[in-house]
Structure formats: structure tokens, C-alpha cells
A and B are shown apart, each in its own frame.
Chain A
Amino acid sequence: MISDFHPIPALVGGAMIGLASVMLMAFAGRIAGTSGIAQRLFPPYVDNVMPGRIAYLAGLIAAPGAMMLAGLAKSGPQIDAGLPLLLFAGALVGFGSVWGNGCTSGHGVCGIARLSIRSFAAAGTFTAAAMVSTYIVRHVL
């Protein structure tokens, strides 16, 4: 339950996330929002930049392998929730991120960096909601 807190890796990893977001805007002119990118794998298709989307998502998926090859990834993630709860939570996260036009990357990083008022509202709302459901799962159920 209790995880270690390492401030320097957290800041450095965060900075890498920021740099990736800046690069995607500089080269492709796109917000590095994973839900925005992933949802456009589905119709309606309104543009012709699908190869770039697939390449970006492939990069995300390739990261663990690359980090393990470089000796920088210790181990895989610790996913404690069981399959039924994962199905429920995944569907909520997928639906909500599309309905609310963004997730942690799109609203929480890129939107806040653009000083978007909608992103501040969304990030505050989803963080508060996450605190509620974590509380319910850990302390009520």
C-alpha cells in the first residue's frame, strides 16, 4: 500500500513528460493528450494524421522495453485491483476522458501549461473525484 517517495526522479520524469509534450507541439502542432490521441483511433475520422497518432502510442508502449534494455526500469507496475474492478475503472476513465475532452496529460499538463481555464476546472474536478473513489475503495468498502 505504501509507496516510496523520491522527489528528484519525480521531477526529472515530469520534466521528460514536459519535454515530450513541447516536442510534439513543436514538430506536429499537437497537444500531447493521450485520451485525445487514442480516441481518434475510432470514427469519425476527420483528418489524415493517423500514422502520427499510431506512432505516438507505439512510442508509449515501447517505453518499458526501452527502459528495461537501458537498465533503467526496475520492475513492472503493481496493479492491485482485480479484473472486474479494472474493467469498471477502465471504462469510466475511457468514457470520462472523452466526455470531458482530456485526461491528465491533455488537461493536467498541456492545458494547464496553456493556462486554459477549462483545463484547470477539469484537473481540479478529476483529482477531487479520484480522492473520493480512492477513499471509498480503501476506507469504506
Chain B
Amino acid sequence: MPVFIQFLCGLLFGAGLIVSDLANPPTLLGFFDIAALATGGWDPTLLFGLIGAVGVTFVGYRIVFARHRPIYAERFELPSATKIDARLLTGAALFGLGWGIAGLCPSPAVTVLGFGGMKAITYATALLGGMFLARTLATHLAARAV
């Protein structure tokens, strides 16, 4: 049952990406293209999508965190880091540079696999390769630091 509910969560998330058009690269690139602010073609879809998403999550998390634990797990797994460090900003900058080239961040990159096509498969493969590299590098650095 918990696994099926996680499938439904992914399904709903992906459906939201499609409804909002946020799984479509021109929509993202139209938001990033600030030069279009002057010429009138700027696309605020990402802003509206994030307002809807963050608004619902902000309220919903408060209701959920009022409980002691999740329904099917021992505890809430939340990030413990609180400091802004160079690694956070470097990673975010590299991620953003790639995002602005293709217009696909990880959630849409996985979702568009469902539409099929060579481009979607190529992009998702490169994405997973980059993740594997970073995860492996991070593990080695952590092992050396001990």
C-alpha cells in the first residue's frame, strides 16, 4: 500500500507538470529569457506554477508536521544542514546553467520519458550519468575527510 501511494504521488506530480506546461522546455526558456521582458515575449508560467506549488506545500506541510510521524514511516526525513556553503552554491549554479540550456530540470526530465523519444532518453541518461558522477565524487571526498 505505501509503495502504491508513492506511485500515485509521482503520478500526481507529473500530471501537475503537464497541466501547468512546466514539462515543456519552451515554457521554461521563455521564463529565463529576460531579454524578452523588453520585447514582450516573456513567459511567467514558471512563476505562477511555483506560486501554486509553494502555496499548497507551505500550508499542507504545516498540517502534516502537526502530526508526530508520517502515516507509513517511522519519522519525517528532513535535511539537517542549515548553512549556505560553497558546495550548495556551486552545485546550484551548475544545475542552473544546464537548466537554462535545455529547459528541463530533473522532474520534467523523468516525466518526459513517458512521452518517449530519442531526445528525452538522451537527456535522462546524461542526467543520471551526472548524478552518478557527483554521488561517487561526494562519497570519495567524504571518505578522504574521515
What is A's interface to B at a CB cutoff of 8 Å? Answer: 1-3, 5-7, 9-32, 34-35, 38-39, 41-44, 49, 51-53, 55-67, 72-73, 76-81, 83, 85-101, 103-105, 107-114, 116-118, 121-123, 125-135, 137-139
Contacts and interface: CB of A to CB of B under 8 A. Distances in A.
Interface residues of B, number: 120
Interface of B: 2-30, 32-35, 41, 43-45, 48-58, 60-61, 63-65, 67, 69-79, 81-84, 87-120, 122-136, 138-139
Nearest to A125: B92
Contacts of A27: 2, 5-6, 9, 70-73
Nearest to A110: B57
Contacts of B23: 77
Contacts of A87: 122-123, 126
Nearest to A62: B11
B107 A15 contact: no
A77 to B, nearest CB: 5
16 contacts: A3-B30, A10-B20, A15-B16, A18-B56, A21-B13, A22-B60, A25-B61, A61-B113, A61-B114, A64-B111, A64-B114, A66-B15, A88-B101, A90-B104, A90-B126, A130-B97
